[in-house]
Amino acid sequence: MQIRVGFNLLLRCERATPMIVILGVHESRASDLLEADPLQLLPKVPCQAYIDTYGNHCNRLLAPAGPMRLRGTGLVADRGLPDPVLPWLEQQPVEQLPDHALLFLLASRFCESDLLTNFAWSQFGQVAEGWQRVQAICDFVYQHVRFDYNRSSPTKSALQTFESRVGVCRDFAHLAIALCRCMNIPARYCTGYLSDIAVLPPHSAIDFSAWFEAYLGQGWHVFDPRNNTPRIGRILIARGRDAADVALTTSFGPSVLESFEVWAA
């Protein structure tokens, strides 16, 4: 299966503003790129690529005062299979976890696991460890939180989502991640494209999507508390502790997103 992915964003800055952009298909899917998806800037400005702490491909640039358009499109080969469901996978004791997973047990900017620990243990402490426990957390978040595009903000945290019971996919992921970390399950935030392949209509407009990966068995596995069902055509852009690590654009000064278009089909 081939999936055409891409984006078209229009930003406006009050003055020349340094910026970090994370919008390309992740290195883990590089071998699947049939057509590369380089970042295109209008007006053209110098752009420096680098790899961040989490292995994400980033670009740094100085956005000019006024409007700037960011574009990119690529063609990705995909297996066309839904997310794997592996209920036999076990949870590793903290003392046996690999070093690289330990960071994803800690509270972070948007995932205040330290403030949700008592609730998490009372709610999930009797659930079998491993895949079943992570799925129980996803079920809870899916049932507890109502999706509403108009009821979120860039600063909304897992605790705020837990209390307000409403949010977008980013908020669903943050709450599930925080609850997993409470239960000593490493969890990391993911952002990327998610197609509507094999999803019954009506379809909402395609947007960048958020999900998470939990460390079970000997590796990382996808969970999606927003949709809470295996999906086809999930294409990763970036991973981190939470959305603060993988913002699509981070501006070091005032900026406004004036228009936003995403496709994955």
**Bridge partners (DSSP) listed for residue 40:** 71
Distance of CA 200 to the CA centre of its chain: 23
Residues 107 and 228 in one domain: yes
Give me the phi and psi of 8, to 5 degrees please.
Answer: -145, 105
Q: Of 134, 249, 110, 265, which is closest to residue 203 (Cα–Cα)?
A: 265
User: Residue 203 — pLDDT band, cuts 50, 70, 90?
Assistant: confident
CA distance 180 to 41: 38
- Among positive and negative, which fits the CA dihedral 153, 55, 260, 195? negative
Q: Which domain holds residue 182?
A: 94-245
In a domain, 33, yes or no: yes
Prediction pTM value: 0.96
Average pLDDT over residues 142-165: 94
Q: What pLDDT is attached to residue 80?
A: 95
Q: Are residues 48 and 101 in the same domain?
A: no
Which token pair is 224? Answer: 């999606």
Judgement on whether residues 116 and 66 belong to the same structural domain of the protein = no
- pLDDT of 205 higher than 80: no
Q: Rounded to an integer, what distance in angstroms lies between the CA atom of residue 72 and that of residue 59?
A: 13
Is residue 87 in some structural domain?
no
Provide the percentage of residues in the chain whose pLDDT is more than 90.
94
Structure tokens given for 1? 């299966």
| Res 127: pLDDT | 98
The token pair that represents 2 in the structure block: 């081939």
Residue 60 and residue 154 in one domain: no
| 193 vs 149: which has the higher pLDDT | 193
Is it the case that residue 259 has pLDDT exceeding 90? yes
pLDDT score of 249:
96
Predicted confidence at residue 36, as pLDDT, reads 93
| 167/253 same-domain check | no
The predicted-structure confidence for 119-149, as pLDDT tens digits, reads as follows 999 999 999 999 999 999 999 999 999 999 8
Condensed to tens digits (0 to 9), the pLDDT of residues 23-50 reads 999 999 999 999 999 999 999 999 999 9
Confidence of residue 262 (pLDDT cuts 50, 70, 90): very high
pLDDT at 201: 83
In this structure, the answer to whether residues 19 and 142 fall within a common structural domain is: no
Residue 162 has pLDDT above 80, yes or no: yes
Judge if 216 and 109 occupy the same domain: yes
| Same domain membership, residue 188 and residue 67 | no
Task: Find the mean pLDDT for residues 73-77.
Answer: 97
| Residue 202: band (very low, low, confident or very high) from pLDDT cuts 50, 70, 90 | confident
Tens digit of each residue's pLDDT (9 = 90 or more) over 77-115: 999 999 999 999 999 999 999 999 999 999 999 999 999
- Domain shared by 115 and 231, yes or no: yes
For residue 206, name the pLDDT band (cuts at 50, 70, 90): confident
Q: How many domains does the chain have?
A: 2
138 plus 260 within the same structural domain: no
65: alpha, beta or left? (left if phi > 0; alpha if psi -120 to 50): beta
Do 19 and 107 lie in a common domain? no
Q: How far apart are CA 250 and CA 178, in angstroms?
A: 23
Check residue 200 and give its pLDDT. Answer: 85
Alpha-carbon distance of 30 to 51, in angstroms, equals 14
